[in-house]
Structure 1
Amino acid sequence: MTSELSSPSLDLGRLTPYLEQHLAGFRGPARATKFPGGQSNPTWLIEAPSGSYVLRRQPPGQLLKSAHAVDREFRVLSALADTPVPVARVWHLCEDRDVLGSLFYLMSYEDGRIFWNPALSEVDRDARRDYYSAIVTTLAALHDVDPERVGLSDYGRPGNYFQRQIELWTKQYRAAETERIAPMEALIEWLPAHCPADTQRPTLVHGDFRIDNLIFDHDAPRVRAILDWELSTLGNPLADLAYFCMCLRLPSKGHITGLRGQDRAALGIPEEEEMIAQYCKLRGLPGIANWNFYLAFSFFRLASIAQGVKARALQGNASNANAHEVGSMVEPLATLAAELIA
């Protein structure tokens, strides 16, 4: 690399000298390649003579309050560095918006495989069950972390997690609302009225635990790193489990690919009951009541996130070219949730 290559929305002319001054061992010149996918915080691979890094920043433009909190991501990744939970190593957080126009941080580049389709067509059929088992094992390990021991006892607010989340995502949805969607209105009414008592001990919750937010080893069903911690907090761990299990009900075609209508037995993908049983065994739980509530909430939250992407796309601030496609998912996602509460 002999010269700096520009990248959209990333000023390497300002970034490189900043990193040379603030990140031990960093040496330019540097080049940046934006990762595909991702709707929230734009992410780049930074390559320099001193090594490869990943830069994650807030998007430009006006942001919803509490959204795109890359500083929270940096904090939770730092806290998990010496736990059994697989995460990238974080190197530096920049809170000086004059450098790139918004907050950003650098972390290690974890070389591995990311699967965008939960059908796992890239691996042998007989290995797919092992990959899903690794996913559930990783999720259980995350929820077994003691927040107080890793310095995250104040990472979330007290009280019923789902009540707070319903209020938050209803508020976020209203702030980004562009039209009236009947299934979303039904969910906004039904969810708070059917919220179960929060009997689970609060754990660290990832908030966006799905297969494309995991990096696997190249040659083994082993999770190397969990990505995208923007929505992490303290709360009810069943939120993560239900959110991951949405992939079994999402359509097989679309921006977020699922397994709806596919023969999972023929694919070698375990059924939902098997994954729930594995999770409960790992965490010593007798079982899970009110499962449809947790699923319906998961669809509602994803629909609210998609509405935020749609609003940013209409404002011209979305970080991904497929933002309009994501925005079109709001009503279908709400409809899938409505099926669970009918």
Structure 2
Amino acid sequence: MTNRHDFAGTVPVRAHHQFDQAALERWMEENVAGYAGPLTIDQFKGGQSNPTYRLSTPGRSYVLRRKPSGALLKGGHAVEREARVMAALGQADFPVPYIHGLCTDDSVIGSWFFVMDMIEGRTFWDASFSDVSRHDRAAYMDAMNATLARLHMIDAASIDLSDFGKHGRYVARQVARWSDQYISDDLAGRHPSMDLLINWLPRHLPAAEEVAILHGDFRADNMIFHPSEPRVLAVLDWELSTLGDPLVDLAYHVMMFRMPSDILGGIASLDSAALGLPDEAAYVDAYCRRTGRDGIPNLDFYIAFNMFRFAAILHGIKGRVARGTASNADAHAMGERFARVAELAWAQAKRVG
């Protein structure tokens, strides 16, 4: 079983993710204010979708995030969207790294990429925050909750993101998108639970939806926390960000309460009270207070949808392994978890009815 901590840190750049360092240095000199080499490049162990690198110079460090090479599924690996949304949110003083530049010229390193600040702090690979004291864990959980609520309260138009996604019918479009992606990826195989969900989800769509900026993959290990305080310094990995129903974003995050520990660092099997963690109901109530809601009666549907979507993402990883384009050494194990998540998703759907 792979430990999520195995994703931490860097390794030498993997052979199939190497590129022309001199070309990158020339681009940095022309596009990054204050850049001064020499440059050392390492690859982060994490990054299932888009290869991610640490760029170190004598004076400071940066992060480069790029599209993978090879055949890519339509609409995936959108580093340009990540760069755009983080640059915009930075204007609203939301915790994201500063974006130095986006390159859409494949001739530089072989694919599109962007460069952002390296934020130094702590990363937690499980939602139980087992690396901090029991007394502090609830505060770390609450920091995540407050950050998500703050994101959903930002007016997209005020930071020039009103066209960052379509308005309305977000869940229906997502169900169609991930269903099509699952069906079209023949190399990764099929699963009965996914086939059932593809029929079930369109018949249980929410009657009405709100529109907000969504992160799309909001969880503990996509955040950098202050080195010693329960405070979020940066939210990372915005590849799935868009405009849509904020309850989808919330439910994906709350899904940690219903996932096993080896999938997304879930806490379903843990004794929350004994560990100093809030339970799911209290956590949802805190978000509702922050966003002015009375409650979320259809949370089970949103969680079923999110498990389906995550299963489809894992299915895509299986496909990338089969095609030889997977960017992470743990991609094979992640792909094998696809069947388990598909079964969990169908179990959630049956709770709805």
Scaled by the length of structure 2, the TM-score of the pair is 0.92
Partner of 1:311: 319
What is the match of residue 269 of structure 2? 261
Select the residue among 188, 195, 203 that pairs with 1:185: 195
Distance 1:268 1:192, change over 3 A: same
**Aligned partner letter, 2:215:** H
Q: Which amino acid aligns with 1:204?
A: I
Residue aligning to 1:278: 286
Q: Measure the CA separation in 2 of the matches of 1:328 and 1:245.
A: 23
Measured in 2, the distance between the counterparts of 1:138 and 1:235 equals: 17
| 1:329 equivalent in structure 2 | 337
Tell me which residue corresponds to 2:161: 152
- Which deviations, in whole Å up to 9, do the C-alpha atoms of 1:228-248 show, x marking residues without a partner? 001000000011111011111
Q: 1:22 aligns with which of 25, 31, 34?
A: 31
Q: 1:260 is matched by which residue type in structure 2?
A: A
Alpha-carbon contact 1:30-1:46 (below 8 Å) kept: yes
> Equivalent residue for 2:235?
226
Does 2:128 match 1:119?
A: yes
Match of 1:290 in 2: 298
Shift of 1:261: 1.6
- How big is the shift at 1:84? 3.8
1:225 alignment partner, SS class? strand
Match of 2:91, SS state, is coil
Q: Deviations over 1:184-220 (max 9, x none)?
A: 01111111100111232x0000001111001100110
1:340 to 345, 348, 353: 348
- Partner Cα distance (2:108, 2:347) in 1: 47
Of 294, 303, 310 in structure 2, the residue corresponding to residue 302 of structure 1 is 310
Q: Percent identity?
A: 45
- CA spacing shift, 1:84–1:284, aligned 2, 3 Å: farther
Distance apart, 1:121 and its partner CA: 1.2
1:163 partner SS: helix
- Pairs aligned (count): 336
State the Cα distance separating 1:268 from its structure 2 match. 1.1
Task: Provide the C-alpha distance between the structure 1 equivalents of 2:62 and 2:162, rounded to a whole number of angstroms.
Answer: 29
- SS of the equivalent of 1:197 reads coil
For 1:83, the aligned partner's letter is A
> Which deviations, in whole Å up to 9, do the C-alpha atoms of 1:130-153 show, x marking residues without a partner?
111110000000001000000000
CA distance in 1, matches of 2:237, 2:184: 23
The partner residue of 2:224 within 204, 215, 226 is 215
Aligned to 2:58: 49
Q: Deviation at 1:329? A: 1.2
Looking at structure 2, the residues matched to 218 and 49 of structure 1 have their Cα atoms a distance apart, in angstroms, of 22
Q: Residue type of the partner of 1:105?
A: F
CA distance in 2, matches of 1:285, 1:199: 14
2:118 aligned with 1:90: no
Structure 1 contact 78–90 (Cα < 8 Å) conserved: yes
Q: Secondary structure at the match of 2:70?
A: coil
1:109 has 2:151 as partner: no
Whether 2:242 is the aligned partner of 1:196: answer no
How far has the Cα of 1:104 moved from its partner? 0.2
Equivalent residue letter for 1:28: G
Aligned to 1:136: 145
In the alignment, what sits opposite 2:5?
none
Q: Is the 8 A contact 1:198 1:236 kept in 2?
A: no
1:99-154 Cα distance to aligned partner (Å, 9 max, x none): 11100000001000000011211100011001111100000000010000000001
Separation in structure 1 between the aligned mates of residue 13 and residue 146 of structure 2, nearest angstrom: 40
- Give the whole-Å Cα distance in 2 for the aligned partners of 1:278 and 1:152: 27
Change (3 A) 1:116 1:6: closer
Shift of 1:7: 5.8
The counterpart of 2:244, out of the listed 231, 235, 239, is 235
Q: For 1:69 and 1:238, how far apart are their aligned partners in 2?
A: 23
Following TM superposition, by how much is the alpha carbon of 1:82 offset from its aligned partner in structure 2, in angstroms? 2.2
CA distance in 2, matches of 1:237, 1:35: 30
Please state if 1:74 is matched with 2:83. Answer: yes
Partner of 2:4: none
Q: Deviations over 1:1-38 (max 9, x none)?
A: xxxx8664232122112211222221222111111122
Q: What is the letter of the counterpart of residue 308 of structure 1?
A: G
In 2: Cα distance, 1:295 partner to 1:112 partner? 30
Counterpart in 2 of 1:59?
68
Alpha-carbon distance in 2 for matches of 1:314, 1:199: 37
Matched-pair contact (CA < 8 Å) for 2:67–2:111: yes
